[in-house]
Structure 1
């Protein structure tokens, strides 16, 4: 695939006609991709995925910490850190991919300062585990359209948390679609802190389909990423509306746009 950045297929939602995740990896490789990602792992054929990765030379850019537990609720902190530890152990055979962490929901009765302090404490414990294992954690802000009570729905807040934890193994996953749903301006929210962003995911507005099917200004997005110095890959976390070969072609063409 030719694009400004390497593309990573979300095989949770793409190449579904191929079969299970292992077969989707093979299909993605046949389509010209070198990178892939998926969500939760406990219900997936991890051994078969490991075999497919070894066979194809594909690399995973991200897997979600499973089970999902809150970083803001002290009652779930131990379970959250345990989930990080177990996910690291389970995915070691997959090449130690980055592990995606969401915040969980707001806790009734807690102030903003208390939410922030609890999140920093939980992420610090998780980062200690990640540092020891040599794995990167990716903190992902989501949006209130999908999750009305989600705590972390702001890119700036996510970056503030990462700065407060101050671990080289905790970075941000910036999702263009979640950010657009929240009405954020990419240049404003990432300014001066692109070094804290380790992965970017893309999908178009409004309905989370492939870039080129909606209203996102992709020339602005791509120019901003380039100008800020982003040097990672782009995760294709979208629901395709076209056959995958056509979907990837449209996506690559759209993401190659650079504004003036």
Structure 2
């Protein structure tokens, strides 16, 4: 983990209130891996005080660039969305424990399930799995057509299905319904998205090897403030917990209470 001032190489909207931000800074880029996140300072002063956690979507070590994708809506992310190419932002990272590539062997099938703004960290994961000879299948869920992004990019890597709740793009329904309807076969699950979706995955595939990346509001991002804790599952004392920012954000299915 380091603190680095990174230059904005590009920023553009890619869906409704969703922005793709490309940052340049070789030191941090060299440390980053799939499933980790950055803590970005959105202003030069102390207002707002807290940094914003944003998942890493792509790592380009040759160019020294990291691509992150975030949804604007709160005060901090709205301020970040106004920043232009050439500006510099303070970035703390890379943070958290990401997805392990060793969990799926060459020739196996990995099912990557994303929901909304939980889709971005799956892109770098998919890139790395493909490099290792793993077959990837993507099921990505969004609210509607205006929320869909990176569909073509995922399609370049493997079989890709889009689910929208209103049926305006892809197929109408949830990601679980798509998996069931298509009778998709797979060896390992990797998923990131809203908690209800992760709960549904855990319930639907309790016997499958799988890993879930949790979305959570954070304070410090380094485990000091205890703002993002979750209880360990099946703990009889109800006192054991994990910190999403440092112990996660990726956990094995069944490891923590959702």
Query: TM-score w.r.t. structure 1 length?
Result: 0.32
The structure with the largest helix share of the pair is: 1
The structure with the largest strand share of the pair is: 2
Query: TM-score w.r.t. structure 2 length?
Result: 0.33
